[in-house]
Amino acid sequence: MDFTLDLDKHQLEKIEKILDEELIDLGVSNVILLDLAGNVIVNLDNGNTQHDVYSLAALAAGNFGAVSAMANLIGEQEFSLLFHKGETDSIHFSKVTDDLLLLSIFGKEVSLGFLRLKVSEAVRKIESLFG
């Protein structure tokens, strides 16, 4: 993969602010912005998580790649959104740009529908920074 992300400090701070206000304030426990190679660009949490963020990012990128390959096999260009429901925590993946994914980890207290709405708003705001 030949990809270079060119963000300055100001853009990174804006992305962190967007993710904090849209998702962490909603009750999401952990938000990771990563590239398709699994490199962590931004990692925010609510202070109560102890996840291995780098392993999560690498596995999330691999999972997204595998699911994208499955989409191609059935004639879809991609599945831009993935969701895995657990007993206590769930994971929501969303494609931000062609090269970036947003991974949100959240508990039962967060509604999936509301999370999807807030993720869409956050993605739209982040995309505008690359405009």
pLDDT digits (tens, 9 = 90+) for 43-100: 999 999 889 999 999 999 999 999 989 999 999 988 877 889 999 999 999 999 888 9
Q: In whole angstroms, what separates CA 102 from the centre of its chain?
A: 1
Amino acid 6: pLDDT: 73
Distance, CA of 51 to CA of 4 (rounded, Å):
26
Q: Write down the pLDDT at residue 46.
A: 94
Whole-model pTM above 0.85?
yes
